Amino acid sequence: MAHDIHIIGGGLAGSEAAWQLARRGYKVRLSEMRGGGDMTPAHQTDGLAELVCSNSFRSDDDEKNAVGLLHHEMRRLDSIVMQAGEVARVPAGSAMAVDRDIFSAEVQRALTEHPNITVVRERVDALPDSGPTIVATGPLTAQSLAESIVTATGSDRLAFFDAIAPIVHRDSIDMSKCWIQSRWNKRTEASNEDGDYINCPMTKEQYEAFHQGLIDGEKTEFREWEKDTPYFEGCMPIEVMAARGVETLRYGPMKGVGLDNPYDTTEEHPQGRWPYAVVQLRQDNKLGTLWNMVGFQTKLKYGAQIELFRTIPGLENAEFARLGGLHRNTFLNSPVVLDRQLRLNKAPHIRFAGQVTGCEGYVESAAVGLMAGMMAAEEMAGRDWTPLPRETAMGALLSHITGDADATHFQPMNVNFGLFPPFEERVHKKARKEAYTNRAKESFGRWLEGMERVPA
């Protein structure tokens, strides 16, 4: 079958993109290397849309949770991932969990039975020179294709250990204990007026207890195949640094020099003394709602992270938009190399979708695949794409990866309310999550009405 568009990668994003295009009447060639003699180090089967680790699509609460809201929007767009998820659903409280084999089989059935989709079990080794293409090869993109992407984008490398440091919601930080200042008050043109870092000071006792907590905390182990991948820019998990000696962090990411603690003033230091140690947070998005714990990439287990990081002064009630982690990943510096419609700036016939664009998570990857499929369909129909409003979950995620994130420190991101534009009027904290979802649903409904409805 001659095809209108080539999709590379039959994971969550590629499968969803194929479905969206096929439903709109476009003929799709879907190339998946598993089943054609190749495998990734994490996949176990040849099935399309295989879930490589947990079986959870996380919260299904579309009233108070950002990923639940993403489920809602995807359902409204007839997502195959959400439909197959319903078929494969297993009990998991307010979360949506699935039987991974049934889920994958259901996606595969829907795609292979669709007359507009041809699934070809083949590895693609280079980006096509022409013709509409969607690349959705995921965090474990095969080496040859990764090299071709590196050449096309001009990046120096694509696969590395993802140094994920935790991200904290700004409004959960207790600013009566922390202050904003850049070390030595250094400024650049892009600096905020007061400084660029939130500083959480620690006394000697607090630091020593914290250091011990890092040493004792439960860690996740590297898998065998992860052992050969280099760290990204020499980044080191914080607990590995801590294990080198009690002072190592005080000369590294936790050094207090050049920071004047306004809560610790003396006659000699009216501006404030330098803290014994400090935890710094750096703004992570343009909205200023999310702050990244600088240098805190970690392999501590999630429960251990929450417990330990909430002992940091000012973070006692911290809410984490994302916790730290370290695993092999492959992703583009999307804010720089992609346009707002996920097209490669240097080769706009190629779109990217899924985790390789710098989103994080099964649902997010599928959502970006869904958007890429819709965008490609609109383009092939000769219509202008109507941008998704920023207040929607899909719009917020897309805005983040295609431009709003800080490109110099770009890291994969889960959907969360910190990516949504804040309210202009004051909304009480308790009512905020519901207010976000109400606003998003209204906005999404208007956007959907404006789009041409597609017959199922």
273 binds ligand FAD (CB under 6 A): no
Binding mask 277-316 for ligand FAD (x = CB under 6 A): ----------------------------------------
Residues 392/444, Cβ–Cβ less than 8 Å: yes
* Contact positions with ligand FAD (CB under 6 A) in 27-56: 31-34, 40, 42-43, 52-54
Task: List the one residue out of 255, 250, 290 whose CA is nearest residue 397.
Answer: 290
Among 166, 325, 358, 361, binds ligand FAD (CB under 6 A): 361
43: left (phi over 0), alpha (psi -120 to 50) or beta: beta
What whole-number distance in Å separates Cα of residue 69 and Cα of residue 55? 19
Q: How many CB atoms lie within 10 A of CB 183?
A: 17
Task: List the one residue out of 130, 161, 159 whose CA is nearest residue 145.
Answer: 159
145 binds ligand FAD (CB under 6 A): yes
139 binds ligand FAD (CB under 6 A): yes
Annotated ligand binding at 14? The verdict is yes
Rounded to a whole number of angstroms, the minimum distance from the CB of residue 193 to ligand FAD is 38
Which amino acid is present at 22?
A: A
Nearer to ligand FAD, 42 or 150 (CB): 42
Count Cα neighbours of 376 within 13 Å in the Cβ-side half-sphere.
Answer: 38
Among 80, 81, 124, 278, binds ligand FAD (CB under 6 A): 124
What letter would DSSP give residue 352? E
Among 365, 402, 411, 437, binds ligand FAD (CB under 6 A): 365
Residues 43/52, Cβ–Cβ less than 8 Å: yes
Rounded to a whole number of angstroms, the minimum distance from the CB of residue 361 to ligand FAD is 4
CA quadruple 183, 184, 186, 192: dihedral sign: positive
Annotated ligand binding at 245? The verdict is no
The tokens describing 105, both together, are 């089989």
138 binds ligand FAD (CB under 6 A): yes
Annotated ligand binding at 49? The verdict is no
What whole-number distance in Å separates Cα of residue 432 and Cα of residue 430? 6
Q: Give the angle subtended at the CA of 331 by the CAs of 304 and 88, to the nearest 5°.
A: 70
Among 82, 117, 140, 376, binds ligand FAD (CB under 6 A): 140
Rounded to a whole number of angstroms, the minimum distance from the CB of residue 242 to ligand FAD is 25
Residues 80/107, Cβ–Cβ less than 8 Å: yes
Annotated ligand binding at 13? The verdict is yes
12 binds ligand FAD (CB under 6 A): yes
Nearer to ligand FAD, 53 or 456 (CB): 53
Among 256, 275, 354, 373, binds ligand FAD (CB under 6 A): 354
What whole-number distance in Å separates Cα of residue 373 and Cα of residue 7? 9
Nearer to ligand FAD, 106 or 196 (CB): 106
The size of the chain, in residues, is 456
9 binds ligand FAD (CB under 6 A): yes
Nearer to ligand FAD, 85 or 275 (CB): 85
Rounded to a whole number of angstroms, the minimum distance from the CB of residue 365 to ligand FAD is 3
439 binds ligand FAD (CB under 6 A): no
Total binding residues toward ligand FAD, as defined by CB under 6 A: 34
Give the binding range for ligand FAD (CB under 6 A) out of 191-199, 342-350, 360-368, 417-425: 360-368
What whole-number distance in Å separates Cα of residue 58 and Cα of residue 359? 15
Annotated ligand binding at 9? The verdict is yes
Helix, strand, coil content of the chain in percent (nearest 5): 35, 20, 45
132 binds ligand FAD (CB under 6 A): no
* Contact positions with ligand FAD (CB under 6 A) in 175-234: none
Residues 214/307, Cβ–Cβ less than 8 Å: no
Nearer to ligand FAD, 237 or 361 (CB): 361
Among 3, 10, 107, 444, binds ligand FAD (CB under 6 A): 10
In the bound state, the residue with its beta carbon closest to ligand FAD is 11
142 binds ligand FAD (CB under 6 A): yes
The tokens describing 333, both together, are 């510096």
Annotated ligand binding at 84? The verdict is no
Q: What are phi and psi of 102, to 5 degrees?
A: -65, -40
Alpha helices in 381-450 (DSSP H): 393-399, 429-450
Which amino acid is present at 80?
A: I
Question: Annotated binding residues, as ranges?
Answer: 9-14
Q: Give the annotated binding-site residues for FAD.
A: 9-14
Q: Contact positions toward ligand FAD, by CB under 6 A?
A: 8-14, 31-34, 40, 42-43, 52-54, 123-124, 136-142, 145, 327, 354-356, 361-362, 365
